[in-house]
Amino acid sequence: MPLHAQVRAARDFLVLHREDYDTAYAGFSWPTPAIYNFATDWFDGLAEERGHQTALWVIDAAPPGTEDTVSRERRLTFTELRDRSVAAAHWLHDHGLRRGDRLLLVLGNTVGLWEVMLAAIRIGAVVIPATPQLSPADLADRVRRGHASMLVADTADAAKFAGIEPPHGKVAVDGGGTGAPAPDGWLDYAEVRVDPAHDPHFPGCTRAEDPMLLYFTSGTTAQPKLVQHSHVSYPIGHLATLYWMGLQPGDVHCNISSPGWAKHAWSNFFTPWLAGATVLVYNYARFDPAGLLAVLERCEATTFCAPPTVWRMLVQTDLAAARTSLRECLSAGEPLNPEVIDQVQRAWGLTIRDGYGQTETSAQVGNPPGSPIKLGSMGRPLPGFAPVLVDPASGEHRDDEGELCLRLDPRPLSLMAGYKSDSESFDDELNAAAFAGDVYHTGDVVGRDADGYLTYVGRSDDVFKASDYRISPFELESVLIEHPAVAEAAVVPAPDPVRLAVPKAYVVLAAGWAADADTARQILGYAREHLAPYKRVRRLAFGELPKTISGKIRRVELRRAEQARAGSSGADEAASDRPDGEFRDSDFSF
Ligand SMILES: Nc1ncnc2c1ncn2[C@@H]1O[C@H](COP(=O)(O)OP(=O)(O)OP(=O)(O)O)[C@@H](O)[C@H]1O
């Protein structure tokens, strides 16, 4: 069977059983072609089948303060995008890019990003995606640790790469459409021209295990790790993501995530195209919930995925007034608070379906369409995944709670090849820990009920003990966010001389609430009513939350700040050692 047909048979099986989890889970097996190229074997096939359908639709938000919500719109059909990516591949090849070479791709949500990704895959070069929001020092680190032999960036960001000279040069893309020429010393992407004589295939073939992507993780808990994916792990592995999302051929799929992070590749590249759907991109300088809703309406998006941070912002607006054509609402990347699901359900009559995964994999766990949802649970294992829960202390397998680990026999196709170190070799230490005991360790603790539903407890590093009880920050945050004053919350342990640690909440207030003692009393009182005494939130501070560039809450920073404070004050509870702006439940009589 041709490669395209093998993957399509697996895709069609999942689409057919999209509302029948048991059949899909039991009957699915990963296609395992020995050679595969997403551009030539899959994308070009789409151009044959559905050439006139829009493959990519990028809407640029108008600058704040202007009347219209859209400043520019670009649409490419599958045929046009295939032709542009073939042309880009030849142009990059002419400038020296070869199979196995590493290409640092630092573009925002501009058409060039999709063209260059497809072009590099076609050639067999290894793409290192990075967000333009990184600092020059971080970008230099990506070039160095990634051994990039070429880099592609927006003309507007060229200054960030001063002094960096990769062997095959620097390519400038005029993403903003300003007409500005490439800066001195840069290659100009505007030279790319479609030529019908171009061969879409490049010499040789890409083997399944050949490297295709190198990702830096978000760095939520530690230094970003370098994850290697192959020519099948993301290109075919995202069949599992497709099943969770419930995408269908012809859908218009919108996803909010920043380029450079794995979630962008999941949901703005591989998964919708595996489904034969249109990728709809809302490109903004500053996220504006009203602008997003206008785009969803205008483009008649059918499926929408966003991280919980975006959903929390959306529910602060008048969602009920939006007239969308959405069929599927999805969330991933962080735990999703039940209160947010509830609010969207009330406004739109749609249930946000949570899905869980990592840079290291596709989606692994999720609530597929049609499956009963248990509020607070992130769903069940997706087709192709057999998780086990491992007790972090004893290493034994448990039924009820433990670290989420994946069985490797058979190995989920979407699982990374492994972590790379600074050099070009694999990082033996990191990989030994990640694959200890013949399973892959996700580093996340989850609970499992009798029906096999998994509930997120926390990062192994974020879960903590207070009065000898285990505390899940997510559980406490979900209660706090039910209070109307709370837009976002992060809970971390504050060292305590008696209880070892007590839960402390950092709270971002909803509009219209004052950061004063009365609000603190109300929130702490609410948490007191709704949480068991040992989980009680005992301290509270108002302020912004530290986040990664990809928008995830960095509890590790708050935790360190608490520890540092305790270290300097000897963890003394005396009121005089209380940090500025901290409220304690002992201040109030409830
Ligand atoms: N639906 C979800 N519910 C709860 N947590 C989620 C969900 N989806 C993803 N996550 C969290 O995000 C993590 C994966 O994120 P990602 O791969 O972007 O890097 P990171 O783990 O945030 O960064 P780093 O590994 O560098 O600390 C998961 O391990 C999990 O902790």
* Token pair 């409830």: residue: 590
In this prediction, residue 246 carries a pLDDT of: 97
For residue 355, the ligand 1 atom closest to its alpha carbon is 1
552 lines ligand 1 (CB under 6 A): yes
Q: What is the pLDDT of residues 259-280, one digit of tens each?
A: 988 999 999 999 999 999 999 9
217 lines ligand 1 (CB under 6 A): yes
pLDDT confidence bin for 569, thresholds 50/70/90:
low
Q: Mean pLDDT lowest for which of 64-78, 283-297, 359-373, 395-409?
A: 64-78
For residue 366, the ligand 1 atom closest to its alpha carbon is 1
In this prediction, residue 529 carries a pLDDT of: 92
pLDDT at 586 over 60: yes
ipTM of the complex: 0.96
Q: What is the pLDDT of residues 371-421, one digit of tens each?
A: 999 988 999 999 999 999 999 888 899 999 999 999 999 999 999 999 998
d(CA 86, CA 96): 15
Distance 123 CA to ligand 1 centre (A): 31
pLDDT at 245 over 70: yes
Q: What is the pLDDT of residues 109-133, one digit of tens each?
A: 999 999 999 999 999 999 999 999 8
Q: Atom 13 (ligand 1): residue with closest C-alpha?
A: 358
pLDDT at 573 over 50: no
CATH of domain 34-382: 3.40.50.12780
Q: What is the pLDDT of residues 187-220, one digit of tens each?
A: 999 999 999 999 999 988 999 999 999 998 877 7
CB 362 within 8 A of CB 244: no
Q: Atom 26 (ligand 1): residue with closest C-alpha?
A: 219
Neighbouring C-beta atoms of residue 51, cutoff 10 Å: 14
In this prediction, residue 575 carries a pLDDT of: 45
pLDDT confidence bin for 423, thresholds 50/70/90:
low
In this prediction, residue 508 carries a pLDDT of: 96
In this prediction, residue 422 carries a pLDDT of: 66
CB 245 within 8 A of CB 271: yes
For residue 359, the ligand 1 atom closest to its alpha carbon is 17
CATH of region 469-587, choose from 3.30.70.260, 3.40.50.720, 3.60.20.10, 3.30.300.30: 3.30.300.30
Which of 220, 266, 361, 378 is the best mutation target for the ligand 1 pocket, counting ligand atoms within 8 Å of the beta carbon and taking the most?
220
Average of per-residue pLDDT across 169-184: 95
* Token pair 């020059």: residue: 136
pLDDT at 468 over 90: no
pLDDT at 225 over 60: yes
In this prediction, residue 497 carries a pLDDT of: 81
pLDDT confidence bin for 462, thresholds 50/70/90:
confident
In this prediction, residue 4 carries a pLDDT of: 78
Neighbouring C-beta atoms of residue 209, cutoff 10 Å: 13
Instruction: Kindly provide the b/e burial profile for residues 279-313, where b requires at least 16 CB atoms within 10 angstroms of the residue's own CB.
Output: bbbbbbeeebbebbbbbbeebebbbbbbbbbbbbb
In this prediction, residue 578 carries a pLDDT of: 80
pLDDT at 534 over 80: yes
Mean residue pLDDT of the chain comes to: 92
Q: Is 228 helix (H, G, I), strand (E, B) or coil?
A: strand
Quote the percentage of the chain above a pLDDT of 70. 97
Average of per-residue pLDDT across 216-242: 89
Domain ranges of the chain: 34-382, 469-587
Residue 509: exposure state from Cβ atoms within 10 A (0-12, 13-18, ≥19):
middle
